[in-house]
Structure 1
């Protein structure tokens, strides 16, 4: 039978871990270092704190929670739906969606998981919201695109590098390859041929193999018809990519394109076509396979990309949705 002092020591440890996690907002990894215990032990102590009623967790206001539950009922393949409050300041809203994605990352991604990262500003906000700590995960880009000679977009390789630094700079934990800059516009077919040749390199094949092994994908969406106010926040990668492909947004719209997932274009039904896939990526077809395989595909985007969100849900291009209340309400209509 446990001694009274053992029970008291256990209680003190439960309360300390709960205090560090909920009040000091330390991560489980940070707490494990603090109390010299494994992350698994920390998780058990937190569970015990909840079971004994020492803490009460409220993930969101009731209205947001209700929207989340209704989204999961309507789109019943979703593993989770996280809804944040809407805001008129779209830069602030994007930051909040990125922060929600970071919180999901911290709670859902397990040790030794392989995580693929999409590019763009929302994913940048997610990476910057993640605390700097040692993470035993493998990181890969969700796409390999040509970059340079000047920077005009936060591509996946940039975010893989950044998160690798923020996760302890462990050797062998990040894999990436960047496409060579093409200094002249090329047709889609010609650019695809260039990338097919590029993808035959041994080092690139290793990265592509890691991408296919991804357990988690965190990404956002490109939207051909994004909110006009959102267009003012940052340069859109589409313009640069389309110039290199000798395409225009109007031309793609005539083809039926609504948006893109990791630079793989899709239509209003979330379907893609061969000519809409140029870059080596976890594109539409690969992501649909991930969803079928019950891997975790997190898409984070707000009301300013509603058309792309609607199409992505029709095509089942995700199984975890992170969005805002106005977008959620529109998706439920």
Structure 2
């Protein structure tokens, strides 16, 4: 390249990319047309005079996030890199990412709904600030005290400063009669009455194949889990079961104290927070079920989901 041309190309590129000048302004300075400037800038890129580098944030994989959003028609996806495949490490990273997402998208007057879950417990610990909003548990108590929805609601309420509506009842009981009696309890009925107000739901995804779910464990104690696995159940959101194709399996509906599939689908945005190899089938089924609109997950699981048909 001749030296004068090199000077002109480099100057035009610097004025455009670094100084932010327009094609018209550069053209006036150099005494050429704006179309000539456009060709000069393009040639500077072709010759390597200009090299554009996009620096990824340290944790969020933006490429996988957009790919997952497009493939499954999601409202949003946040895919994060994790330092280890160990469940505890994944839960901490996803919990922090979910907390940051809520701090970004929640607006004053929202009604937030939460299920139980280890990762949601981590999320509650990472929340620093939220606009004033009310909270409701989307189901009864499952799992250890520190991981169930009552404790999650308690922790989030210290940040949200709104009213909260926990559900002081088991997520699943042995008989439909007991479940109906619990649902008619005044405080529980009051929580249920707030389900239609929920604007953003934050849910864990439980895996049944392989088992990695507090609801599965409770159903197994009642002698119900294996029958449901044979029926094709691969996972659950709240207490709604579904198969690998996302079809709802209603067998536990009469025994659970939780929001229904129909009510979940009425929430404008349901955000699933789940990761780890054991959750692959369950998250894939959830994405196909229509129960969730957004997802926070890890890069390994996102890659497996994108590779699936």
Q: TM-score, normalised by structure 1?
A: 0.68
- Secondary structure of 1:275's counterpart equals coil
Equivalences for residues 225-244 of structure 1 within 5 A: 225-226=209-210, 236-243=214-221
Please tell me whether the aligned partners of residues 97 and 301 of structure 1 are also in contact (alpha carbons under 8 angstroms). Answer: yes
2:304 maps to 1:326: no
- 8 Å CA contact 1:284, 1:317 repeated in 2: yes
Does 2:290 match 1:316? yes
Question: Against the structure 1 CA distance between its residues 237 and 273, is the aligned structure 2 distance closer, same or farther, given a 3 Å change threshold?
Answer: closer
2:167 match = 177
Unpaired stretches in structure 1, ≥5 consecutive residues: 1-56
The alpha carbon displacement at 1:136 in A equals 0.8
Deviation at 1:175, TM superposition (A): 1.1
Q: Are the aligned partners of 1:145 and 1:279 in contact in 2 as well (CA < 8 Å)?
A: no
CA distance in 1, matches of 2:171, 2:209: 27
Work out which of the residue numbers 74, 91, 94 in structure 2 matches 1:94. 91
Q: How does 1:161-172 map to 2 (within 5 A)?
A: 161-168=154-161
Moved over 6 A (4+): none
Q: How many residues align?
A: 251
Deviation at 1:61, TM superposition (A): 5.7
* Cα separation, 2, equivalents of 1:180 and 1:120: 14
Is the contact between residue 117 and residue 159 of structure 1 (CA under 8 Å) also seen in structure 2?
A: yes
Match of 2:178 in 1: 194
The CA RMSD over aligned residues, in Å, is 2.7
**What is the distance in 1 between the residues matched to 2:94 and 2:86?**
12
Greater gyration radius = 2
Three-state SS of the structure 2 residue aligned to 1:103 is helix
Q: Give structure 2 stretches of 5+ with no counterpart.
A: 1-53
Q: Deviations over 1:44-96 (max 9, x none)?
A: xxxxxxxxxxxxx97736992111111121112x1111010143232111110
1:106-144 Cα deviation digits (max 9, x unpaired): 01111111000110101001000101x574110100112
Alignment of 1:10-21 (within 5 A): none
8 Å contact from structure 1 (residues 142, 211) kept in 2:
yes
C-alpha displacement of 1:262: 0.9
Whether 1:287 and 2:255 are equivalent positions in the alignment is no
The equivalent residue for 1:126 is 123
CA contact (8 A) 1:119 1:156 kept: yes
Q: Please give the alpha-carbon distance, in whole angstroms, between the structure 1 residues aligned to 2:200 and 2:127.
A: 16
Q: Which residue of 1 aligns with 2:280?
A: 306
Superposed counterparts of 1:140-155, under 5 Å = 140-145=136-141, 151=144, 154-155=147-148
Contact conserved, 1:272 with 1:285, CA < 8 A, in 2? no
Question: Structure 1 residues 177 and 152 mapped into 2: Cα distance closer, same or farther (>3 Å)?
Answer: closer
Please list, as runs of the form range in 1=range in 2, the aligned pairs for 1:41-60 lying within 5 A after superposition: 60=57
Q: Which residue, 170, 189, 208 being the options, matches 1:205?
A: 189
1 or 2, which has the higher strand percentage? Answer: 2
Q: Provide closer, same or farther for how the CA distance between residues 297 and 136 of structure 1 changes in structure 2, counting only shifts above 3 A.
A: same
CA contact (8 A) 2:140 2:170 kept: no
* Partners of 2:55 and 2:107 in 1: CA distance: 23
